[in-house]
């Protein structure tokens, strides 16, 4: 794998599923795993084997049916967790055990009742055990962004010495800012030369509590992270995880800025989002970037006029790039004459300038009273003489 390749680690089936309303059966997880495989993700975190019999079964099922991505199971820094993860992954072509242990004093004191020295010993012992059971081991110091930096560096150093092949430094509670998050990655790389010398992959895992998950993930990539952990539609604990589709689109659209490659098939982003929306209890917000219903919809008259002249005026990527069929020009009270003429021509009605002006005034009056304007409404606005000279529609409806 080249040094400029960013691996996508999808945790929709583990961290994403923990979100209220997002739980999935084993069969639903398998359906989603196949969609993720088609999307081109590099690693699928299929679940937390120790969490439940259902999670164990889902991981084991996915390892036997999904072969292209690496399959991972989460495990606490506990012997029984790690051994359970290994058993769930025993049929995987390429298995990864993902061990995590808190590194912040807040979590160590109040959640785990551990001192720093005990945590360091536990880190080394857990990673060594995991490495004895799998060639690929990821270690995550939980709550890394609120951890004492010297202690965080020491924990990461011990994990690397114990055999971890990937080090993930999560912003567990969505606390960090891009500048801070990127600096943490740079400092850890500088202070632990073995990371670069041994080809250890650094990974980001960001939550969206301050709406910065994607920005923080991109900052980590900028600072040398070559794995990014994310979910479809950004689902996950609390405000969610970093959105896979947003990161993938950003790396493509701003390839001039980041200069990295990925294995993501961009045209599968929207179809994959739709699969998830059908499996859980909700779809993404209409204004969700990349895959939301309004991501390629335009109502403003100024925007619509620009779009008809050249789509680049108001779209930085084509809808087809991410698997959306086409742009939608939504007719409403903010629309202008250009969009109205365009729609009427699609419906088979060619109007003179004077006729368009007359119909436009009637259209605006209707749009002020009605939230949704349908094609039959537009036809109803036309005088009989215009309706009588209708031609065959020139294209499919937007």
Judge whether 230 and 11 are in contact, CB under 8 Å: yes
Give CA–CA dist 132/50, Å, rounded: 18
pLDDT at 395: 52
Give CA–CA dist 266/362, Å, rounded: 42
Give CA–CA dist 295/286, Å, rounded: 7
Per-residue pLDDT, averaged over 364-372, amounts to 89
* pLDDT of 1 above 50: no
Reported as a pLDDT band with limits 50, 70 and 90, residue 396 is very low
Q: What proportion of the chain, given as a percentage, has pLDDT over 70? A: 98
Reported as a pLDDT band with limits 50, 70 and 90, residue 308 is confident
pLDDT at 312: 85
pLDDT at 262: 98
Judge whether 290 and 252 are in contact, CB under 8 Å: no
pLDDT at 245: 98
pLDDT at 214: 98
pLDDT at 394: 54
Give per-residue pLDDT as tens, 169-208.
999 999 999 999 999 999 999 999 999 999 999 999 999 9
Per-residue pLDDT, averaged over 258-285, amounts to 96
Give per-residue pLDDT as tens, 17-40.
998 999 999 999 999 999 999 999
The 3-class SS string of the chain reads CCCCECEEEECCCCCHHHCCCCCCCHHHHHHHHHHHHHHCCCEEEEEECCCCHHHHHHHHHHHHHCCCCEEEEEEECCHHHHHHHHHHCCCCCCEEEEEEEECCHHHHHHHHCCCHHHHHHHHHHHHHHHHHHCCEEEEEEECHHHCCHHHHHHHHHHHHHHCCCEEEEEECCCCCCHHHHHHHHHHHHHHCCHHHHCCCEEEEEEECCCCCHHHHHHHHHHCCCCEEEEEHHHCCCCCCECEHHHHHHHHHHCHHHHCCECCCCHHHHHHHHHHHHHHCCCCCCCCCCCCCCCCCEECCHHHHHHHHHCHHHCCCCCHHHHCCCCCEECCCCCCCHHHHHHHHHHCCCCCCHHHHHHHHHHHHHHHHHCCCCCHHHHHHHCCHHHHHCCCCCCCCCC
Token pair 């109502």: residue: 299
Quote the distance between the C-alpha of residue 90 and its chain's center.
28
Q: What proportion of the chain, given as a percentage, has pLDDT over 90? A: 81
Per-residue pLDDT, averaged over 256-278, amounts to 97
Give CA–CA dist 99/86, Å, rounded: 11
Looking only at the bridges linking them, the beta strands covering 297-298 and 7-10 are unpaired
Per-residue pLDDT, averaged over 288-301, amounts to 89
Give CA–CA dist 19/79, Å, rounded: 27
Per-residue pLDDT, averaged over 229-245, amounts to 97
User: Exposed, middle or buried by CB within 10 Å (0-12, 13-18, 19+), for 260?
Assistant: middle
pLDDT at 393: 62
Residue 371 gets the label, from left (phi > 0), alpha (psi -120 to 50) or beta, of: alpha
Give CA–CA dist 89/169, Å, rounded: 23
Reported as a pLDDT band with limits 50, 70 and 90, residue 397 is very low
pLDDT at 355: 94
Per-residue pLDDT, averaged over 256-281, amounts to 97
Per-residue pLDDT, averaged over 370-386, amounts to 87
Per-residue pLDDT, averaged over 300-314, amounts to 84
Give CA–CA dist 85/48, Å, rounded: 7
pLDDT at 330: 82
Give CA–CA dist 130/305, Å, rounded: 59
Q: Which long-range contacts (CB under 8 A, 24 or more apart) does 288-294 make?
A: 288/233, 288/234, 288/243, 289/243, 289/245, 289/246, 289/249, 290/243, 290/245, 290/246, 290/249, 290/322, 291/233, 291/245, 291/322, 291/324
Indicate the pTM of the whole model: 0.89
pLDDT at 178: 98
Reported as a pLDDT band with limits 50, 70 and 90, residue 391 is confident
Closest CA to 79 of 28, 13, 126, 115: 126
Q: Where do the structural domains in the chain lie, given as residue ranges?
A: 7-279, 297-388
Judge whether 294 and 329 are in contact, CB under 8 Å: no
Residue 133 tokens, joined? 């059971």
Q: What is the CA radius of gyration of the chain?
A: 25
Per-residue pLDDT, averaged over 351-365, amounts to 93
Give per-residue pLDDT as tens, 74-120.
999 999 999 999 999 999 999 999 999 999 999 999 999 999 999 99
Token pair 């007719």: residue: 331
pLDDT at 159: 98
Average pLDDT, the chain: 94
How many residues belong to the chain? 398
- Give the CATH fold of the 7-279 domain: TIM Barrel (3.20.20)
């Amino acid at each position: 794998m080249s040094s400029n390749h960013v691996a996508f680690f999808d945790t929709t089936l583990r961290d994403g599923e923990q979100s209220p309303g997002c739980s999935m059966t084993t069969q639903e997880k398998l359906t989603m795993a196949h969609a993720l495989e088609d999307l081109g993700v590099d690693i699928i975190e299929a679940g937390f084997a120790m969490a439940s019999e259902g999670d164990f079964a889902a991981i084991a099922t996915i390892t036997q049916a999904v072969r292209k991505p690496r399959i991972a199971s989460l495990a606490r820094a506990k012997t029984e967790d790690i051994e359970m993860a290994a058993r769930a992954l025993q049929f995987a072509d390429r298995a990864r055990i993902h061990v995590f242990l808190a590194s912040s004093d807040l979590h160590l004191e109040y959640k785990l009742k551990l001192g720093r020295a005990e945590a360091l010993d536990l880190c080394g012992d857990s990673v060594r055990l995991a490495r004895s059971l799998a060639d690929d081991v990821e270690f995550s110091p939980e709550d890394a962004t609120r951890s004492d930096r010297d202690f965080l560096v020491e924990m990461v150093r011990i994990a690397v010495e114990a055999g971890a092949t990937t080090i993930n430094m999560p912003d567990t509670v969505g606390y960090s800012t891009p500048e801070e998050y990127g600096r943490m990655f740079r400092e850890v790389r500088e202070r632990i030369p073995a990371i670069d010398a041994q080809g250890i992959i650094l990974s980001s895992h960001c939550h969206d509590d301050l709406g910065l998950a994607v920005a923080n993930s991109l900052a980590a990539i900028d600072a040398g992270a070559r794995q990014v952990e994310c979910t479809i539609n950004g689902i996950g604990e609390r405000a969610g995880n970093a959105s896979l589709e947003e990161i993938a689109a950003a790396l493509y659209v701003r390839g001039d800025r980041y200069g990295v490659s990925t294995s993501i098939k961009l045209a599968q982003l929207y179809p994959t989002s739709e699969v998830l929306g059908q499996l859980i209890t909700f779809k993404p917000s209409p204004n969700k970037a990349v895959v939301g219903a309004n991501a390629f919809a335009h109502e403003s008259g100024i925007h619509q006029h620009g779009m008809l002249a050249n789509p680049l005026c108001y779209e930085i990527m084509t809808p087809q790039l991410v698997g959306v069929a086409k742009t939608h020009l939504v007719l409403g009270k903010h629309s202008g004459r250009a969009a109205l003429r365009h729609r009427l021509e699609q419906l088979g009605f060619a109007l003179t300038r004077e006729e368009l002006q007359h119909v436009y005034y009637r259209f605006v009056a209707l749009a002020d009273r009605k939230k949704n304007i349908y094609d039959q409404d537009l036809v109803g606005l036309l005088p009989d003489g215009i309706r009588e000279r209708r031609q065959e529609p020139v294209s499919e409806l937007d």
